[in-house]
Amino acid sequence: MLQLPAFDSEVLASGQHQGVLHSLVMDACRILVNNQDVYLATDIHGQHRYSAAAGQILLPVGQYYLFISGGTIGDNYPVVTDFDAWTFPHDNLPPSWTTTSSSAAGECDPCSSSTMSEGVKHYDGRCCIVTRFKSTTSSDCAHLCPTECRDWFAASNMYTYTYNGRHNDVANGVCMRADVHRCFDRHGFVIYPEGSSFVTYMIDAWEADYAELLHCRLVNIPARVFPELLFARFAFAIIKRASITLPERFTPVPINNVVLMLRANRLANSIEQPDASEPAELSEISDADEDQPYALDDDTLALAANFYKILPHLREEREHSTDRLFNTLVIHPETPRMRRLMEEYKKNNPQVSQLSGATATYSDLEDDAEDDAEENLPADFVESGSHVVEDDEGVQESPLGERDTEGATASTEDIDRVPELVVSM
């Protein structure tokens, strides 16, 4: 199922309607069935085929059903549920994308993979292609075809649209302001053609706060970037955004064997690194039974003995803790003991917390601290979102948050009121 928010509206003879670009919806649907021709119907049996009125560019808000052109109703057509399974349509882009030919891509000096990021920002003048915001510290290199898709990139011969023949190439990146880049990577918006130009188009209702800034905004696509890579990114976002729970009669498109082979070879040649977020496993063998390659000298042992003789309560803190912070240098030696004292105090004084003394733990104390921090926020701010961004004027806003004053950003309730267009398989 594909859900797209309707931020656009148009006036027709029948009145004003909200909707989504018809061509964008059709392009998205073709991608989900691996580039087959499709049509939409307003009923599940496909009897009422939808056709746009003359001059209509938006598909009105509502429920639609996807069917394969020339197929039989109820056919078990394959559906793309993984980007690695999608076949790139070389020399057969959708009509809406052919107005900008790949021949429009300009000449560009190739750079090494390691210098791609700096190369992209250099070519774009460290200026965001969407907002025109220029900064040496807040500009990012945004990949069009993400690094996680490098195996698909190679298997699909996408190097044709690069200058150094690799995934990390200046043709596969554009400069974006840091917060816009994050929104792009969350698939909040896509870059879509409009005539001979490109615009940003919001496809996630939960990014409603960015709609005023980003929706239908003209994008300055660098001449070095091929439209084929922009289309690949569009497909990646659509497949990621689509919430596909396949009925039994449908089957997913299998991942290309070449992609699987390239992935297996890459993983086999890579060195697996331990997860730094987990505490290192301790050996069950005690220090006394284990050979120490770097033995402690007598002076160090004597100093340690005197230290723990004076401060015996710190000896227990040398034990391993399941808390990952304990195993780093940022924790104070007294912290575990203070933590234990806090928990004992809360058990003996349950009135200081809404938690019962039997269930109070350190993680609960952290939750209480977060709750206290929220209570101390300014009265005119109610948090309901994810992160804080700064616009070009330096005014801070909080996506999915609201302010009681006029000109507030959209609240969660506002987002719920954004009408959506739904396409079901």
Q: What percent of the chain has pLDDT above 70?
A: 64
Task: Give CA 291 to chain center in angstroms.
Answer: 47
Q: For tokens 């964008």, what's the residue? A: 24
Cα separation, 387 vs 368, whole angstroms = 20
Strand (E) or helix (H) holding 238: helix 227-241
| Residue 147 scores a pLDDT above 50 | yes
Helices (H), 287-329: 298-310
Q: What is the mean pLDDT of residues 137-159?
A: 93
155 to 33, 87, 116, 163, 262: CA distances (angstroms) = 19, 10, 21, 17, 8
H helix runs in 4-63, sequence order: 22-32
User: Average of pLDDT values for 371-399?
Assistant: 40
Closest by alpha carbon to 178, among 3, 390, 363, 331?
Answer: 390
CA–CA–CA angle 55, 59, 63 (5° rounding):
150
- Collapsing DSSP states into helix, strand and coil, what is residue 297? coil
**What gap in Å lies between CA 283 and CA 319, rounded to an integer?**
13
CA distance 40 to 423: 8
Residue type present at position 105: A
Q: Give the residue-averaged pLDDT of 46-72.
A: 85
Q: What are the pLDDT digits (tens) for 333-371?
A: 566 677 788 888 888 877 765 544 444 444 554 455 455
Residue 101 has pLDDT above 70, yes or no: no
Residue 270: pLDDT band (50, 70, 90) is: confident
Instruction: Say whether pLDDT at 291 is over 90.
Output: no
DSSP-derived pairing of the beta strands 381-382 and 389-390? unpaired
Query: What 3-state DSSP class applies to 184?
Result: helix
Residue 15 corresponds to which tokens in the numbers above? 């009145």
User: Is there a contact between 415 and 409 (Cβ–Cβ < 8 Å)?
Assistant: no
- Report the pLDDT value the prediction gives residue 298, as an integer from 0 to 100: 66
DSSP string, 189-217: EEEEEETTEEEEEE--GGGGGGHHHHTT-
Q: Coil, helix or strand for 330?
A: coil
Helix (H) or strand (E) run with residue 354 in it? none
The position carrying tokens 């806090």 is 342
Distance CA 79, CA 245 (A): 10
Distance CA 388, CA 215 (A): 19
In the sheet with 15-21, reading across from the earlier edge strand, the strands are 8-12, 15-21, 58-60
CA angle 98, 99, 101 (to 5 degrees): 65
Q: Tell me the whole-structure pTM to 2 decimals.
A: 0.66
Predicted pLDDT of residue 27: 95
Residue 76: band (very low, low, confident or very high) from pLDDT cuts 50, 70, 90: confident
Q: Which tokens hold the place of 346?
A: 């809360």
pLDDT at 141: 94
The percentage of residues in the chain with a pLDDT greater than 90, rounded to a whole number, is 36
Instruction: Using the predicted structure, report yes or no on whether residue 418 has a pLDDT greater than 90.
Output: no
Tally Cβ neighbours within 10 Å of residue 228: 22
Q: Is the pLDDT of residue 216 over 60?
A: yes
